Amino acid sequence: AEELASSPVLPPDLLARLTGLTRHLKGNSEWEEKQKQVLESPSERLIPEECDETLRNEFERRCAFGERMNTEFMSSGKWVKFLRELGIIAAPGADKSSVGTISLADADIIFRKVLHHADYCGKRLTYETFSKALYLAALASRPDLDCESALAEMLGRVTAAAPEESGNDNTDYMLDANVLLVLDHFKPALWDLFR
């Protein structure tokens, strides 16, 4: 609207009306503009490629906590637990203004804002919306740094908190979706066999 009001192609009477209508509007702050840019951009552009696999594995691991078949959707409680374990959410009695932390309310606001902006408006974060929420949490926790530095620090915390990949293959096949599907199919026969 501001760009339109300053356009030289508008007739003077229409320009005066538009100026009067937009006079009470205030512009977005720098923080709101950053949020808007993050929410509008695709998540592939936000997360560097070298951190994408680690972040995706950590996302799936956190989603599966308590729901082993769920590796795609993160609830609000798991989002808060994730940020608490990274030290992003300030402890209840701690100083809320310390650098590198945000309040629980800010974490919930970021969660809801990203979900509201998503196309499907669900109740849980997908990996794409999780990436955006993580980026916004990085910006909120480190307003003194530029966007890339804040995200790099956040990704460093995530990488440090991620479990180490072991060289030997200790795969738990009972967590494999195909194994669970086959077991569910044969559950009545197995039940009769082991009675």
SS (H, E, C) the chain: CHHHHCCCCCCHHHHHHHHHHHCCCCCCCHHHHHHHHHHHCCHHHHCCHHHHHHHHHHHHHHHHCCCCCCCCCECHHHHHHHHHHHCCECCCCCCCCCCCCECHHHHHHHHHHHHHHCCCCCCCECHHHHHHHHHHHHHHHCCCCCHHHHHHHHHHHHHHHCCCCCCCCCCCHHHCHHHHHHHHHCHHHHHHHCC
pLDDT at residue 114, as a whole number = 92
Over the chain (195 residues), the average pLDDT of each successive run of 10 is 66 78 74 85 88 91 89 92 91 71 92 86 88 93 89 91 65 76 84 82
pLDDT at residue 97, as a whole number = 63
Q: What is the value of pTM for the model shown?
A: 0.70
pLDDT at residue 166, as a whole number = 46
pLDDT at residue 127, as a whole number = 92
pLDDT at residue 36, as a whole number = 86
pLDDT at residue 23, as a whole number = 73
Distance of CA 129 to CAs 38, 43, 65, 110, 140, Å? 10, 7, 19, 11, 16
pLDDT at residue 100, as a whole number = 82
Architecture per CATH, domain 41-163+173-193, reads as Orthogonal Bundle (1.10)
Residue ranges per structural domain of the chain: 1-29, 41-163+173-193
pLDDT at residue 129, as a whole number = 93
